[in-house]
Structure 1
Amino acid sequence: MNAPSQKSSELAPELTEPVLWKITLGELDEKMGVKIVEESVERVVATMPVEGNRQSFGLLHGGASLAVGEAVGSWAAVIHASTLGKTAVGVDVSATHHRSAREGLITITATPIHLGGTLTTHEVLITNEAGQRLCTLRITNLLMKRKH
């Protein structure tokens, strides 16, 4: 689990507060068709098509759910970390698959459970277009000083 490499929480010369980090999709995110809907300290929301992310039985791949869930949860942690002039790296992720999907668009929503100065924990819900819960993830990130 690698931290995003973008340096966007730098202090602007005329500002006294750090600039919030803005999400930049990685290569895997782009290949999976991830789209950002909302990004803030309080909530990060993204969507992803099931098509192109299915396993051999035609179901949404569990690994795709984990990959996108970890990405969205980590982005949420980095946004919080940027308010402290820090970055975040994932240290733990776990998931429970409740149901699957064969088609459509899934929505991935990360909300904070704990926003500390050293650790963050986020709950990440993956739902289908009917609002049914497909997967629940919990991700913990370590906040660290940014390396310039």
Structure 2
Amino acid sequence: MSPNTGQVQTILGELDERLGIEFVRVSADHAVATMPVAGNRQITGSMHGGAYCTLAETLASLAACEHAGDGRTAVGLDISATHTGRTAAGRVTATCSAIRLGKTVAVYAVEIDDEAGQRVSTARVTTILRDA
């Protein structure tokens, strides 16, 4: 299921594709993805907070699927995000780190930075793991 195996397009959902999410690295404990700001702005011209949340949940869910293993899947259970910066151009990069990798629950911290390396959003994503 890792993008390194060339299967990313079969994993992405329709919204993820529309937002332009691209994976750099995905493993159970660490994942990185980027997303363009263009096409994902709110009416004020800056990146939409919902786009940050979608990026965070997509990345954490994919990492959780890696952790769950064959025959199992991950489903988002909870997300909490704090948007601390503003960006209106370029790409953002999300870095996802495991907080807890259990048998039934995986929890991740996702930090999203703009191209200048400034933090624009931080999310905590909890996923539930279950049989596919």
Q: Spell out structure 1 runs of 4+ moving beyond 4 A.
A: none
2:29 to 32, 42, 50: 42
Alignment partner, residue 16 of structure 2: 29
Structure possessing the higher radius of gyration over alpha carbons: 1
1:82 Cα deviation from its structure 2 partner: 1.2
Root mean square deviation of aligned Cα = 1.5
CA distance in 2, matches of 1:144, 1:42: 18
Task: Give 5+ residue unaligned stretches, structure 2.
Answer: none
When you count helix as a share of all residues, which structure comes out higher?
Answer: 2
2:121 to 135, 138, 141: 135
Identity rate, percent:
46
1:116 to 94, 102, 124: 102
CA distance in 2, matches of 1:109, 1:80: 16
TM-score by length of 1: 0.80
Task: Give 5+ residue unaligned stretches, structure 1.
Answer: 1-7, 9-19
Q: Which moved more, 1:22-31 or 1:41-50?
A: 22-31
Amino acid at match of 2:36: P
Give yes or no for the alignment of 1:78 onto 2:65: yes
**What SS does the aligned partner of 1:103 have?**
coil
1:65 Cα deviation from its structure 2 partner: 0.7
1:64 Cα deviation from its structure 2 partner: 0.7
1:141 Cα deviation from its structure 2 partner: 0.7
**What SS does the aligned partner of 2:51 have?**
helix
